[in-house]
Amino acid sequence: MPRSLKLRAATLFRWMAALSILLTSIGLAGPAEAVSYRGQFVFIKGSTNINGILRWDYWDTDGDGVARTYGSWRSGSGSTQDSCEKGKGWLPSGPYDGIQHQKNYVGSLIFGMVWELDSKKCYNGTYRTELFIHSKQTPSNGQNCPGSQCWASANDYMSNGCIKLSSANYSFSDDIGDADIKSRARGGPGYGVSRYTNLVVVSGRDRP
Amino acid sequence: MRRYLPIIMMVGIAVTACGSKTQDAGYAIEATEASPSETATAPVLPELAYVHGRVVRGAGIANALLARDAAQPLNGWLSPVAVMSPDKSSIAYNTWRELREDDPAKSRSDQGIEAGTPLGHPAIYVFDSKTGQNTILADGASSIAWGRHGIAYVQGVDRDYRAGINWIGDIFVRSGSSSSPIKWSGEPAHYVAAAWARDTLIAYRVDPQEHLTLLAFDSPGKERVLSEGTLVSLSPDGRFAFVEATDATSCVYVIEISSGLKIASFDLRKSPLAEQVVSYAGSWESDLIAARTSRGLAVFRFDGTQISLLEAMDLSSSRYPFSAIEPHFINGGKSVQATVSIPSDLGLRTTMLQWSIGQGEASWSPEVEGDVHYFDNPSR
């Protein structure tokens, strides 16, 4: 290869490397980042329906495989502790696939940041369905008080079964926004409709 | 029979914050705690008819064997698994045929279950006690209400329940088990037929996040929201609904079904049930209403204008963490009978609890394997 051509190739390589570093630093090098991490939410039921913990566990798929935690938030599920009680009980324990993750979801009852989960059978075979991780916020992730788009008290951690995180309002922090940022930064699903294997593992007492 | 001590006895004034007219509800409360031994000394014989798998017990029906196990995985106990016809000659019951094993200990993807995979197939059958025959009423259908107006049920748009797809359907009503169905609902949704209140059909719509909306259908296409919350029971004359909205408001209500007006309310926060919620699928006899609570059972009284809490009972949470299900009055309203699930690694077992109101006594039947469902008819 002529020397001038070698120099041009080396220059091009350096430019490409620099561009790659730049893209990585501003978060546009998605594919390379996404394949290096894998993760899942872990929801640990509390002593009550409103004092559980949700955390994001992740691991480097090319590394040691050891799970590390990146973010942990107070969360709630249900208003009773019977996982078979449709519309009231907390979620049955076990792993759930994700169905979609949306930042500006517009449903009939829930809005804004959501992760939709697959359904699951409880201890007597009843299916718990129409499940989400969500908060109380507007489609644009704001607050509209009072009402169903307003996070106002600890009782807002109660749900019909879904896992709930707080939105920024009163003395509560934007936990659902933080969970979105941190999970996406460590291998979690991006926005859109696509299945994400084992997005959540629910643990804690489901049986005596 | 085992006695247990009352842990709270008080008389107080309930100050309502529940949105209906203010009431001066003096009430006498006896909250008791039941801690049964594993083997009750005198097991009760269930007075209520029930179905255990394919076998029917009680109700004066001998040798009744259903075509399939009675089960309703799509709706839990939002409505009865099995319903007696108004003339008590037949039983309509929900069935479920599993099309694909779905292990809750694994995610769907780990089981190789893709979105759209058929998981189960619901169907409603009718058992005729005169002929002993089982016939299918509706294939791909779930939940039943059987009143003088006819049989209401929800016919699935897709007859199978599929992974990753919410099961939705339309409400149909037949004047008799062999009559043509007439559609009563509008757009398909996850409806659950709950009960008839005279000529009005009471149903749920299960919305995203499993939010339950209580609906009243007065005629085909004439649908209205009856109330937020869930149905504990209908009054014996079918005029009123005892509704709980305790998740959101800590309140229970009596609602006049024809007008939708709240005519009485009770705020749990001013009672021994302050830290609990009330649940659906109870019963109403005379002026008493039995309901499930977070930790046990409660009996309320409605005197025509006011609701009061008569008595509450806590179940031992270590042995019975899931409280009692579907409480029904027996002995002319002197006792309440309910089923209690006991899940374990060896499988689900069920016992029946009989609670003597005001007596401080409770008894348990021997445990049986699997699920037990009362069949009665909440329609009025």
pLDDT tens per residue across span B176-210: 878 899 999 999 999 999 999 999 999 999 998 89
CA A51/CA B343 separation, integer angstroms: 24
Interface check B369 vs A, CB under 8 A:
no
**What separation in angstroms does the CA of A135 have from each of A102, A159, A163, B37, B248?**
12, 10, 8, 43, 15
- Alpha-carbon distance B244 to B207, whole Å? 18
Dihedral angle sign, alpha carbons of residues A115, A120, A123, A124:
positive
Average pLDDT (B331-349) is: 85
Q: What is the CB-side half-sphere exposure of residue B379 using CA atoms within 13 A?
A: 28
Interface contact A129-B343, CB threshold 8 A: no
**What is the band of B62 on the pLDDT scale with cuts at 50, 70, 90?**
low
- Residue A10: predicted pLDDT: 53
HSE, side-chain direction, 13 A CA sphere, residue B254: 23
Query: Residue A171: exposed, middle, or buried by beta-carbon count in 10 A (0-12, 13-18, 19+)?
Result: exposed
Mean predicted confidence (pLDDT) in A193-199: 92
Residue B121, pLDDT above cutoff 50: yes
Cβ-contact A182, A71 below 8 angstroms: yes
Spell out which residues of chain B touch residue A129, defining contact as CB-CB under 8 Å. Answer: 74, 166-167, 190, 206, 210
Contact A97 B108 (CB under 8 A): yes
What is the DSSP secondary-structure string of B275-304?
A: T--B-S--EEETTEEEEEBSSEEEEEEE-S
B87: how many CB neighbours lie within 10 A of its CB?
A: 7
How many angstroms away from the CA of B71 is the closest CA of chain A?
9
More confident residue, B361 or B11: B361
Tokens of B123: 């169907």
| Token pair for B335 | 């006792």
Query: Contact at 8 Å (CB) between B342 and B349?
Result: yes
- Three-state DSSP class for residue B256: strand
HSE of B229 in the Cβ direction (CA atoms, 13 Å)? 27
In the DSSP assignment, the letter for residue B188 is -
Interface of B with A in 139-178 (CB under 8 A): 161, 163-164, 166-167
CB contact under 8 Å between B247 and A88, yes or no, is yes
- Asked whether B171 and B203 are in contact (CB, 8 A), the reply is yes
B296-333 per-position pLDDT tens digit: 999 999 999 999 999 999 886 666 777 789 999 998 89
Q: CB of A132 within 8 Å of any CB in chain B?
A: yes
- Tell the burial category of B131 from Cβ atoms under 10 Å away from its Cβ (0-12, 13-18, 19+): exposed
- In chain A, what is the greatest distance between 2 CA atoms, to the nearest angstrom? 77
pLDDT band at A206 (very low <50, low <70, confident <90, very high): low
The answer, for A159 touching chain B at a CB cutoff of 8 Å, is yes
Q: What is the DSSP letter of B270?
A: G
B311: Cβ contacts below 8 Å, ≥ 6 apart: B29, B30, B31, B32, B298, B299, B357, B358
Tokens of B159: 């007859």
Q: Burial letters for B315-328: b for 16+ Cβ neighbours within 10 Å, e otherwise? A: bebebbbbbbbbbb
| Gap between the Cα atoms of B14 and B17, Å rounded | 9
Q: Give the Cβ contact number of residue B198 at 10 Å.
A: 16
Alpha carbon distance A165, A74 (integer Å)? 7
| pLDDT score recorded for residue B95 | 97
Give the separation between CA B307 and CA B250, rounded to whole angstroms.
Answer: 14
pLDDT tier at A8 (50, 70, 90 boundaries)? low
Place of tokens 């007859």: B159
Contact B64, B347 (CB under 8 A): no
**Would you give the distance in Å from CA A172 to the centre of its chain?**
18
* pLDDT at site B219: 96
Range scoring the smallest mean pLDDT among A53-62, A83-92, B248-257, B320-329 = B320-329
Reported as a single tens digit per residue, the pLDDT across A165-186 is 999 999 999 999 999 999 999 9
Question: Which A-chain residues 70-89 have CB contacts (< 8 A) with chain B?
Answer: 79-82, 84-88
User: Chain B within 8 Å of A69 (Cβ-Cβ)?
Assistant: no
How distant is the Cα of A78 from the closest Cα of chain B, in angstroms? 9
Q: Do B106 and A95 touch (CB under 8 A)?
A: yes
Residue B30: both structure tokens together: 């006896």
| Spatial CA neighbour of B229 closest among B277, B186, B271 | B277
> Do residues B207 and B187 touch, judged by C-beta distance below 8 A?
no
Residue A12 has what pLDDT?
Answer: 52
Burial class (CB in 10 A: 0-12, 13-18, 19+), B65: exposed
Cβ–Cβ under 8 Å, residues A129 and A119: yes
Calculate how close chain B gets to A82, using CA atoms only, in Å.
5
Continuous segment of H or E residues that includes residue A33: helix A30-36
Statement: residue B288 has pLDDT above 80: yes
> What is the ipTM score, two decimals?
0.88
Which CA distances in Å does A206 have to A82, A83, A105, A115, B343? Answer: 8, 7, 30, 22, 9
Q: Supply the pTM of this predicted model.
A: 0.86
Interior CA angle at A37 toward A31 and A40, to 5°? 120
**Under a CB-based contact definition with an 8 Å cutoff, are residues A189 and A101 in contact?**
yes
- Read off the pLDDT of residues A23-81 as tens digits, 9 standing for 90 and up: 444 444 444 444 589 999 999 999 999 999 999 999 998 888 899 999 999 999 999 99
- Count CB atoms within 10 A of the CB of residue A129: 22
Bridge-based pairing of strands B25-34 and B307-315 is parallel
- A114: tokens are 């959501």
What is the C-alpha to C-alpha distance for residues A129 and A122, in angstroms, rounded to an integer? Answer: 11
pLDDT at res. B316 = 67
Cβ atoms of B300 and B292 within 8 Å: the answer is no
CA distance B191 to B208: 12
DSSP B305-331: S-EEEEEEEEEPTTT-TT-EEEEEEEG
